[in-house]
A and B are shown apart, each in its own frame.
Chain A
Amino acid sequence: MPRARKTGNIISGVGHAGLIGWILFGGWFTARPEPVEVREVAVISGAEFQAMLEAQQQPLEIAQDPQTAAPEATPDAPDVTVAPEEPTPLPPETVAEEPAEEPIEEPVPEVSEAAPEAPEPPAEVTVEDAPVADTPVERPAERVAPEPAPRPAPEVTQDPTPQEAVTPEETGETVREQQEAAQTPEATDRIITEAAEPPASSPTASMRPPARRPERPAPTRTVETPAPAPAQEETSEVDDAAVRAALEAAMSSSQVEVPTGPPMSSGEKDALRLAVQNCWNVDPGARWAQTTVTVAMSMTQDGKVVQNSLRMIASEGGDAASADAAFGAARRAILLCQKDGYPLPPEKYGQWQDIEMTFNPERMRIR
């Protein structure tokens, strides 16, 4: 036993001594953490990073100047300042088809003259006017791309949301969505509910009559029955006939149930306006460009023009031939762009069942 204890004590003592020694001196052999602290990277990501970018971009832009300078040379600034006039002659010359014309034209000498004047600073300003917009746009993208690659992502994701919010001008698109989404059943439901709700806004209150009135014809029949009784028939029959005629005439117009809905919103009107004006081809040099015409038409419930309902109801300025030509252009615009039907809310059919469009080319006229 003593031997066994002795050996056990020895082993225990050696083990403990080793353990104590490792605790005391073991740290000497452990690897120290690398001094490559990434703090700077994390800190730079903010303002410093942008500052670095800006610092890098500046020299690059300066490098562009000599290239973009040439077009600016349009320093025909004097000519260009005659702005209202110069722009018109330039495009036609480019339109000129025959090659022989181009060498004759002066724009070439203009560019050559510009070169000397195209120093550094003015370059950036005039670049806007020059049609060279392509080159400056492309280069910054290439340079920035390698380093701040992450940035584009958030910007891209933000784009769609603001577009949706641009309701004022693109109301037409939103309106289409409602129609194409097969909202017709809901729309009709809404009309009914709106008509049933008395406290709604003033226009909705006006929806009730057409839905209720058609039931009234019954009283007219009651009026008819008494007719055969009395002896003094002549005068009363005449009166009754007049009454019936008046009632029938009044009823006939109201018996067709037409969903009217609330008045057209400005967005819905704009959508229709935009749809038509995209096909209204105006010849600004023509005489009819000084003639305003008003066209009336009836619409089907799916937003199409009723066949043969298009007619000119008024014209102003110019002679009859000009009015006819202006009407022809308006008619083409309306028929060309209707395609599968204009983006009009079916639940408001009664509001746009009949349309009068005035085509006023005043703004399109050349000056």
Chain B
Amino acid sequence: MIFLRTASAFVCACALAVMIPVGAAQAQQGPLRITIEEGIIQPLPFAVPDFQVETGEAAQLAGELSRVIAADLEGTGVFREIPSSAFIAQYSDFNAAVQFADWKAVNAQALVTGAVSVSGTNVNVKFRVYDVVSGTTLGEGLQFSGTTEGWRRMAHKIADEVYSRITGEGGYFDSRVVYVSETGPKDERKKRLAVMDYDGANVRYLTDSSALVLAPRFSPSGDRVLYTSYESGFPRIYVLDVGSVQRRVLESADGTMSFAPRFSPSGQTVAYSLTQGGNTDIYTMDINSGQSVRLTNTPAIETAPSYSPDGSRIVFESDRSGTPQLYIMSAGGGEAQRISFGDGRYGTPVWSPRGDLVAFTKQNAGRFHIGVMRTDGSEERLLSASFLDEGPTWAPNGRVIMFTRETQGEGGASSLYSVDITGRVLRKVATPEGGSDPSWSPLQQ
């Protein structure tokens, strides 16, 4: 009897247990599922109040740090700074709780706070990044130490960190650009190598203008530069140590011309063009031993080699089809595959650090363009248009391209421009003189 009661109770309970969830399930069949496929495109508003001054002598530096950080972020076109005149919150204590409501009220979605202390020539900067909308911090607080002379680098590093925490990808602010500085009239132009911060600050000259120099290229570690010089009367490739400004020539046979060099990702090999007997082909050279290998062997002009980020392939320019087009081949040579098929002429290809795109110069219908395409040649997009745009170089994060723009006419001058890969943000890079042939360094260590 007991067994029967227990059994019956169990059966009833089981029936209830089964029935009730079924009813509940019918009432609410899982979460509501929505798919969002369209959004808006606009700069993300952020605020960078002047950093807190922890020592009295750091007042000016605190303000300048904040301004450089804000300029870095806003220069990307991804962010929009909210002017301090709109601030409601009074920022004065790095460790005080952030009043998110005040920052929401001015529509800030990100907030960067910091504090600066100076002791002699030593500077210490600490900062935090906040997501104002969710009222949370983005990552941990960080601090950098350096000297008063290097304050701009500290600002760039902070901006890189902020950019990275919000976008999920690396920044490019703490980087440098080597380029050809140009002065004088067009028919008597003086050219010399110069290196500067990515934003045009801290220009330093690496060579004099006694000989024509062309196409400088940073090494993957950023400590050396390859470039072509007519110092001997013929174009030759040189390797220059950026720190010591010492240089040496990469030997090539007499009667040949070598140019358009570029480092491999390992930094141990150089791919370049060599003209011999009126024919131009692509070679590689071990930078230590000087031993070279011929990669192409056609009667066409083949030049401007650029390695893929993994070093396995090379994209280059060749007119083997009758007009200059882009081709990709194995880093060891062999059969090449054409990837450009649009109208016009293609040249100076450069593989993106991300590995997904190739930037190039295109000449078509009397105009020059900087463009990008996928490595299989698809999805070609032109990012600029001008009388003469050429020589693209990628920012370390593959997000921005810098190039040379030359104006028309006898008084025309060359200058450096940058454009992001969406084509929305085109800016002129400030240089003290004219500039051409930029090459972007990796992020500094």
Contact = CB atoms under 8 A, between A and B. Distances in A.
Interface stretch (A17-25, A53-61, A179-187, A275-283): A275-283
A321 B29 CA distance: 33
Contacts of B38: 277, 280, 363-364
Interface in B1-36: 2, 5-6, 9-10, 12-14, 16-17, 19-24, 26-36
Given A92-B425, A232-B2, A282-B39, A206 B20 contact: no
B134 A331 contact: yes
Contacts of A230: 2
A355 interface: yes
B420 interface: yes
B39 A286 contact: no
B27 A206 contact: yes
Interface in A102-144: 103-106
A209 B27 contact: yes
Nearest to A269: B34
Tell me if A's interface is mostly helix, strand, loop or mixed. helix
B31 A254 contact: no
A79 B5 CA distance: 88
A272 B27 CA distance: 21
B419 interface: yes
B383 interface: yes
Contact of A105 (B13, B37, B386): B386
B: contact size bracket: 35 or more
Given A254-B23, A277-B36, A89 B41 contact: no
Interface string A26-41: 0000000000000000
Nearest to A208: B23
A291 to B, nearest CB: 8
A286 B17 contact: no
Given A95-B425, A98-B428, A89 B31 contact: no
Nearest to B405: A104
Of A210, A285, A335, A361, the most chain B CB neighbours within 10 A belong to A285
B407 A104 contact: yes
A152 B367 CA distance: 48
A288 B167 contact: yes
B313 interface: no
A229 B2 CA distance: 9
A88 B422 contact: yes
Contact of A250 (B21, B371, B381): B21
Interface stretch (A1-9, A65-73, A164-172, A346-354): A346-354
Nearest to A244: B13
B385 interface: yes
B422 A284 contact: yes
Nearest to A105: B386
Given A219-B12, A240-B9, A213 B386 contact: no
A104 B409 CA distance: 11
Nearest to A104: B407
Interface string B402-441: 0001010000000001011111111110000000000000
A260 interface: yes
A95 B424 contact: yes
Interface in A262-319: 263-264, 269, 272-273, 276-288, 296, 310
Contacts of B421: 285, 366
Given A90-B385, A209-B27, A336-B133, A96 B426 contact: yes
Find the residue from B23, B27, B164, B386 having the highest chain A CB count within 10 A. Answer: B27
A162 interface: no
A221 to B, nearest CB: 12
Contact of A335 (B39, B134, B380, B399): B134
B382 interface: yes
B27 A85 contact: no
Given A89-B423, A96-B427, A104-B405, A325 B27 contact: no
Contact of A216 (B20, B21, B169, B381): B20
A282 B427 CA distance: 22
Nearest to A230: B2
Contact of A358 (B19, B34, B399): B34
A86 B385 contact: yes
B109 A332 contact: yes
Contact of B6 (A91, A239, A358): A239
Contacts of B407: 103-104
Give the residue among B21, B34, B168 with the most A Cβ atoms within 10 A.
B168
A364 B17 CA distance: 47
Contacts of A78: 365
Contacts of A272: 34
A356 interface: yes
Nearest to A325: B168
Contacts of A104: 386-387, 405, 407
Given A95-B426, A209-B26, A253-B24, A89 B384 contact: yes
A216 B16 contact: yes
A336 B164 CA distance: 22
Contacts of B109: 332, 336
A34 B421 CA distance: 79
Nearest to B5: A226
A101 interface: yes
Given A100-B428, A288-B169, 20 more contacts: A95-B424, A106-B367, A206-B26, A206-B27, A219-B16, A223-B13, A247-B16, A251-B20, A254-B20, A254-B24, A258-B28, A279-B40, A281-B41, A283-B78, A284-B41, A286-B169, A287-B169, A328-B131, A333-B36, A333-B39
28 contacts: A82-B382, A96-B427, A96-B428, A100-B428, A106-B385, A106-B387, A210-B27, A213-B20, A219-B16, A232-B2, A243-B13, A250-B17, A280-B40, A281-B40, A282-B39, A285-B78, A285-B422, A286-B399, A310-B134, A328-B138, A328-B168, A335-B134, A336-B109, A336-B133, A354-B32, A355-B31, A357-B33, A366-B381
Please provide the 3 A-B residue pairs with the shortest distance between their CB atoms, ordered closest to farther. Answer: A209-B23, A325-B168, A206-B26
